[in-house]
Chain A
Amino acid sequence: MVEFWSAWLLPFLIILGKILLIAVPMLLAMAYLTLAERKVIGAMQMRRGPNVVGPFGLLQPLADGAKLLLKETVFPTGADKAVFVAAPMLTFILALIGWAVIPFDSGWVLADINVGVLYLFAISSLGVYGIVMAGWASNSRYAFLGAMRSAAQMVSYEVSIGFVIITVLLFAGTLNLSEIVEAQSSAGIASLLGLEQGGILGWYVWPLFPMFIIFFISALAETNRHPFDLPEAEAELVAGYQVEYSSMTFALFFLGEYMNMILMSGLTALLFLGGWHSPIPGETFVPGVIWFALKISFLLFVFIWVRATLPRYRYDQLMRLGWKVFLPVSLGAVVFYSGVLVYGGLLQG
């Protein structure tokens, strides 16, 4: 019995506790991201945004959640019920399990696996299934068109994301996310200057700046956010793949989209912005997790900023950007950066 406790139950409870420690703040962050988005867009359009429920509208996400929870779930006739219900669940689960490998601070990670980057890439490439299944199972033309667009779009932009990740891996020489972040304490410009503690100069965003831009734009496309939100383009497809969804099934799609935004921002912060490292060299006063949260918040602000600023892309322009611009540029960059690293004698590992 004692052995059962120490060998099985205790580790299980510890892992369960860690999962809750990650998942609950994530859900809260996601709920308040919806509020932040409405507030920021409101400010950019010289409106106030939600300000009625609670002080400064702070209880608005809770009210929205309660409303969605209490509404009726409608199943269209002719829908494939099993797939119809599974699709939003899949989207939401995939958005959550990506966080298993994200290091929040030095050693603060649920699963420190050696192929963390590939794991995240695999999870984000699975995201397309939730949307395609939803579009097909709804048995509706609008939803189906949205799903088809989404499938093509997400597959296209994954290619350039993959090449951008390869350039980062060339610099870091590892697939482990914690090690990639550790490498950024004194990489890039900092290593050229011979600094031990590089701070902001050590981040990969400087040597890989074009890749950072491509990665961020591809992340917008991968999460189906503006200006690439063609799968749900409300002007022509009503709401695309989610047109037949109501109540909690809709809410799960909605939550999944925002969770994916946070996840992609987190990945960008880890790969390019030094993860939990402070931008000031040698500063240890502020905990790393705060810096990580600040970097994610900044990237999320840019997500919202882009939404408030840019008009939606036309579909053929979206495909052109993915295949004819990003793919050659990122492929060329892989060749260029590997050449520089090999002949400059800078290759790791």
Chain B
Amino acid sequence: MILPALAFYLFATITVACGVMVIASRNPVHSVLFLILAFFNSAGLFVLLGAEFLAMILVIVYVGAVAVLFMFVVMMLDINFVELRQGFLQYLPIGLLVSFILLVEILMVVGAWVIAPETAAVAAAPTPDPALRSNVAALGDLVYTRYVYLFQAAGMILLVAMIGAIVLTLRSRPGVRRQRIADQISRTRDSSVEIKKVQPGQGV
């Protein structure tokens, strides 16, 4: 039983260290790389919990897609981050406020185990034995039955956000010649080639 504990401390230490490096490193690209490493180690923590499906989804969605776009943006933008840090102290109060709220929330979640031990049973209820029901099936049982409206609502919110992003960035510039593949394919020999008999000395 010592091996899972060792693995947990390894993953947890690297995750926290990476989190620190994300805000500490001077180079923004290094920050993103550390963020990716933090995501990856969190996936390792999920695997230790037996939530293999969530671990894989975390890697696919956050590491494979979201962080790629992060990196894309950070590499393309040529920002002087040292200059950006000038007004760091100015944002200190609001930063402290946000971190205080987060701390209180975490304490409330963790404290619930101590103050009200009966809530642990509520949290464990939707988690069947991994040997009997696989992760994916157990998640499907809940998400598509009890929480189906919330799940669909979350999907709608994401869809609206996506359409919003497209609407904000879509602009039609006049005078741009686009390739129309359908037109190109539907061209026939008759419509594009004309054979002329050229008389000598006259030209076309």
Contacts and interface: CB of A to CB of B under 8 A. Distances in A.
Question: Lowest 9 A-B CB distances belong to which pairs?
Answer: A125-B64, A118-B56, A122-B59, A122-B60, A114-B134, A115-B52, A115-B56, A122-B56, A136-B75
Contact of A122 (B30, B64, B179): B64
B72 interface: yes
A154 to B, nearest CB: 8
18 contacts: A80-B29, A113-B52, A114-B52, A115-B52, A121-B56, A122-B56, A122-B60, A122-B63, A125-B60, A126-B59, A126-B63, A126-B64, A128-B68, A147-B75, A148-B75, A158-B64, A175-B53, A317-B179
Nearest to B65: A155
B143 to A, nearest CB: 16
B10 interface: no
Nearest to A158: B64
A148 B65 contact: no
A136 B57 CA distance: 27
B60 A118 contact: yes
A151 interface: yes
A125 B61 CA distance: 9
B69 interface: yes
Nearest to B52: A115
Contact of A125 (B30, B33, B63, B71): B63
Contact of B69 (A122, A136, A155): A155
Q: How large is the interface on A (under 10, 10 to 19, 20 to 34, 35 or more residues)?
A: 20 to 34
Interface string B127-139: 0000000111100
A320 B71 contact: no
Contacts of B167: none
Contacts of A154: 68
B69 A118 contact: no
B22 interface: no
B38 interface: no
A320 B181 contact: yes
A119 interface: yes
Interface residues of B, number: 26
Contacts, number: 70
A80 to B, nearest CB: 8
Interface of B: 27, 29-30, 33, 36, 52-53, 56-57, 59-60, 63-65, 68-69, 71-72, 75-76, 134-137, 179, 181
B68 A148 contact: no
B64 A114 contact: no
Contacts of B75: 132, 136, 144, 147-148
A133 interface: yes
A317 B179 CA distance: 9
Nearest to A169: B136
Interface in A218-232: none
A242 B63 CA distance: 23
A89 interface: no
Contacts of A331: none
B26 to A, nearest CB: 12
Given A136-B29, A148-B76, A121 B60 contact: yes
Given A132-B68, A133-B33, A151-B68, A316 B56 contact: no
A114 B135 contact: yes
A83 B134 CA distance: 38
A132 B30 CA distance: 13
Interface in A75-108: 80, 83
B179 A83 contact: no
Contacts of A158: 64-65
A83 B60 CA distance: 22
A80 B64 CA distance: 23
Contact of A119 (B33, B56, B181): B56
A154 B65 CA distance: 10
A148 B72 CA distance: 7
A80 B71 CA distance: 16
Nearest to A316: B179
Interface string A126-158: 101100110010000000100110011011001
> Chain B CB within 10 Å — which of A119, A316, A320 has the most?
A119
